[in-house]
Amino acid sequence: MTAHNVPAMETPAAYCEAGLQHLRAGRHLDARACCEQALTIDAEHTDAQHLMGLLFLHDKHYNDALEWIVRAIRRAPKPEYLASFGTALQQHGRFEEALNVLDKAIQLRPDDAGLWRQRGDILSQLSRLDQALASFEHALKLDPQHHDTLRKSGILLHNLGRNEEAIAHLDLSDRLFPNHAPTVHARAWILYSLKRFEESATEGKRAHQLAPDKADTCNNLGLSLRRLGRDEEALAWFEKAIAIEPRLLAAFNNKLTTLFQLHRFDEVFALTDHMKALGLNDTVTDWNVALAHLLTGDFEAGWRGHQTRLKLPSAKYARFVQPMWLGGEDIEGKTILVAADEGLGDTIHFVRYVPMLAARGARVILAVQDPLRRLMSGLSGVSHHVPMSAAGALPHFDLHCPISSLPLAFGTRLDTIPADMPYLASPPDDRIQAWDNRLGPRTRLRVGLAWSGDPTHVNDHARSIPLRTLSRILDVDATFVSLQKGPRPSDAAVLRERNDIVDLTAELTDFTETAALMSCLDLVITVDTSIAHLAGALGRPTWLLLPWTPDYRWLLDRTDSPWYPSMRLFRQTETREYESVLDRIRDELRTRASSFEPSPH
């Protein structure tokens, strides 16, 4: 030791105090020298034993650390020794034991915010998030200005789905300790979760400036930019993330999706091949490339890859002991279960194949979502109908096939799409008449409207539009009828303001009622949702609004649909806004309305 490092009073306590100062300053060799001097004077000095344990803990020699700290605790079970013991157990992965130790320390010193913070860390590692949050919140009562506890509480609140509270904690943490990269990174991500994409992008750039070597920050910033429609910028950030972390699968998949959105499909397929060569592809990759094949009309590869959906975390298709039928064997005389496996629109879309199964001699059991059961009850070729809610009590069957796998099973190509319309039976005459009576005299063109789909759909932000945006077509001389069940709060407010949309949706109890109402309309204008499929399956004249990058079944560039002959497609341009699409629709609708001839009385 140099002269200026020698304690003024050469006692174990003085050496320990000097050693702690060295340890806090990062001078570990000096700290060890002080500790050894203290132990030379008194081998049983507990502070020196504890200090030696801390030094071993810093060097990641956990067994030695535990041995020294336990020696100190046996002689003097101080809370700070117990806290260090808990840290050593944490580092050893012995979280339950660490928690027990911390609880003992808290019993001895219940007003120590640091002990409550450490307890919260351990509970987080045990994935006991509610308890961890309670520990952090108690620590904040004792020390409200501790920025890192605020940050950790914010992250836990986010993980618990309480994002508004999370961002409030992180805002305060950022004010107390500005430009702390982990806090800014967390703020950016939670703002993204709150769909505050502009703010998220701003914070993401700040996080990157503070920590330019963090691939996750670049990846998350790319996601925000993509949601803002700034795909070229997003692409650059995903590439930056990959440059920092060359095996970051999330960034590769996000780059692939962005290329997809930019319609750069050759690059999508090339990137997929590169990912496979690196051993980085997963089910998400395979799913996205399958969608690219289908969207570009390569049905052979597309339907094969479409099976990947059954492996996705979101898959809901049940497991059956019976074999899955995908077209490879004779089904004459066999009983086959055809069950819904995706959304309502997918079920309506693909149920057209069921009569083809019956034509091959199969007995078909059809299991569909409950709201569709009555609508499907008149479908040709079905021997037995089962609502999905009763799928646990199925009759005997030999084979099963997910309904969305039927195009693969029948080897569907663009030129063999079964498109005989309508394939759904017309609703009962009395239901159609009841709706016609509700609508009153048919003096003007009747136009049904649906403007939003499932808000949880991954592409909802591109598919759905606000009613206020759709209202630019409402100055046409027509009777507009809402087909929109459960409008979002903002749309419901607009709907209440207007008297030019007939809203009888409270009486649409299921899809049969919706089909009956559609049968009284001259035209349906809708975004890509189950309403579009229902109108198409009934053969009703339908105008479909599509985003720049649509769902695979609508293909690219064409204004018609090979799936639904009565449907016209109105697509966004590269500007990716609906206003110009609606202007085109309004012009055509005005022409159609002007030629409408009222029914004679």
Q: Considering only CA atoms, which of 442, 437, 449 is closest in space to residue 480?
A: 449
Could you tell me if 396 and 363 are in contact, meaning their C-beta atoms sit under 8 angstroms apart?
A: no
The arithmetic mean of pLDDT across residues 343-348, rounded, is 96
pLDDT-based confidence at residue 600 (cuts at 50, 70, 90): low
% of the chain surpassing 70 pLDDT: 98
% of the chain surpassing 90 pLDDT: 87
Averaged pLDDT of the chain: 94
Could you tell me if 372 and 440 are in contact, meaning their C-beta atoms sit under 8 angstroms apart?
A: no
pLDDT of amino acid 444: 95
pLDDT for 234-271, tens place per residue?
999 999 999 999 999 999 999 999 999 999 999 999 99
pLDDT of amino acid 9: 65
- Give every CB contact of residue 260 below 8 A, 6+ residues apart in sequence: 268, 288, 291, 292, 549
Amino acid symbol at 342: E
pLDDT of amino acid 326: 97
pLDDT for 136-174, tens place per residue?
999 999 999 999 999 999 999 999 999 999 999 999 999
List of domains in the chain: 335-416 (3.40.50), 429-594 (3.40.50.2000)
The arithmetic mean of pLDDT across residues 535-543, rounded, is 97
pLDDT at 6 over 80: no
pLDDT-based confidence at residue 5 (cuts at 50, 70, 90): low
Residue 326 DSSP one-character state: S
Whose tokens are 């703002």? That residue is 191
d(CA 523, CA 535): 9
pLDDT-based confidence at residue 4 (cuts at 50, 70, 90): very low
pLDDT at 601 over 70: no
Q: How many Cα atoms occupy the beta-carbon half-sphere of 507 within 13 Å? A: 13
pLDDT for 442-477, tens place per residue?
999 999 999 999 888 888 888 999 999 999 999 999
| CA–centroid distance for 531 within its chain | 23
pLDDT-based confidence at residue 549 (cuts at 50, 70, 90): very high
pLDDT-based confidence at residue 92 (cuts at 50, 70, 90): confident
pLDDT of amino acid 227: 94
Q: Considering only CA atoms, which of 201, 202, 214 is closest in space to residue 241?
A: 214
pLDDT-based confidence at residue 318 (cuts at 50, 70, 90): confident
In the three-class reduction of DSSP (H, G, I as helix; E, B as strand; rest coil), residue 21 is classed as helix
Q: Considering only CA atoms, which of 42, 117, 475 is closest in space to residue 16?
A: 42
Could you tell me if 224 and 208 are in contact, meaning their C-beta atoms sit under 8 angstroms apart?
A: no
Peptide bond before residue 422 is cis, with ω within 30 degrees of 0: yes
Of 77-81, 195-199, 587-591, the poorest mean pLDDT is in: 77-81
pLDDT for 516-530, tens place per residue?
999 999 999 999 999
d(CA 502, CA 486): 15
pLDDT at 552 over 70: yes
Could you tell me if 38 and 46 are in contact, meaning their C-beta atoms sit under 8 angstroms apart?
A: no
pLDDT-based confidence at residue 567 (cuts at 50, 70, 90): very high
pLDDT of amino acid 2: 44
pLDDT for 31-88, tens place per residue?
999 999 999 999 999 999 999 998 998 888 888 888 999 999 998 999 988 998 898 8
pLDDT at 352 over 50: yes
d(CA 556, CA 444): 34
Of 299-303, 360-364, 372-376, 594-598, the poorest mean pLDDT is in: 594-598
Q: Considering only CA atoms, which of 108, 122, 165, 172 is closest in space to residue 143?
A: 172
